Structures are given as structure tokens and as C-alpha cells.
Amino acid sequence: MRPYWETKRLDQMSPAEWEALCDGCGLCCLVRFEDEDIPEVVPTRVHCRLLDAELCRCSDYANRRKYVPDCIKLTPQNIPKLAWMPKSCAYRRLHEGRGLADWHPLISGDPESVHRAGVSVRGQTISEEELDDPDYAVDYAAFDLLDERGVD
């Protein structure tokens, strides 16, 4: 029997199935800014204050919007509109018909596989709470964190 992510569209998945697609990379928890010189959203090496940087998971996922009102809730409807999502993201990959990567925990059976594959932010970011001035986030531009790693 084929796994649910191969037989269901994103909008057909249960909440539990949807949440299980998250590979735990932490890339969607990076602070971003829109560069006026180039027409794109630029990620930084600064992560949301709620991200547990070691686990690459939100430390208060259920209440995150209470503390971070602009946190974007990923849904089947908004995935096509979020061009800044990394190419390695399971939600984006499935939306684009590419399937899950070999390193994805649902494939490998190991939640550490995303980190071993070098696709997560583990060990590469600082918390927004560590910045003296939020405007300095631009000094931590991280184009390389959304490169082609983990994309097959």
C-alpha cells in the first residue's frame, strides 16, 4: 500500500497527516526581509524567538500566533503563493509533484536525517532575541540556506 503523501492531495490530508509532512528543517522560521534592490524575499540567519534551534521545532507551536502574530500558518491553499519557501520543503515538493526527498523523516524513519543531509538550520542561526537592534537582521543575510541542498 502506498503512503498517504503519494495518494492524497495536500488539501485531502488530515491535520495529523499535514503536520507529519514537516521535516523539521526550521527554514520557515527564519526572519526574512524584502530587498528593494532585488525582487525577492531574503532569508536571514536570524530565527524566530520561538524556534528551538537545536530541535528545529517551534517551542510553543500551539500558541505561536499569540506570541508571533505574523507567523504564517502553512495551508494547502497558501503553499502555491509562498515562493520564499525552500525548494527542499515537503509541502512545496508535494505541491510541485516532486515527492518527498530520501532524507525526509517519513522516508528515512529517522528525524535526524534532515540534519545529517545538511538541509536544516541547526547550528547556523541566532535568535532574534540576541539582536541588539532588529534592523541588524539584514547583516545576517543567508542566501545559502535556501540553496539547492536537499533538492533532487
Give residue-wise pLDDT tens across range 35-46: 677 667 777 888
So where are the chain's domains? 4-131
> At residue 28, does pLDDT exceed 80?
yes
Per-residue pLDDT band at 124 (split at 50, 70, 90):
confident
Task: Report the b/e string of 76-111 with b at 16+ CB within 10 A.
Answer: eeebeebebbbebbbbbbbbeeeebbebbbbbbeee
Confidence (pTM): 0.85
Segment 40-62 mean pLDDT: 89
Mean pLDDT confidence for 2-8: 97
Task: State the DSSP code for 2.
Answer: -
Q: How far apart are CA 105 and CA 76, in angstroms?
A: 20
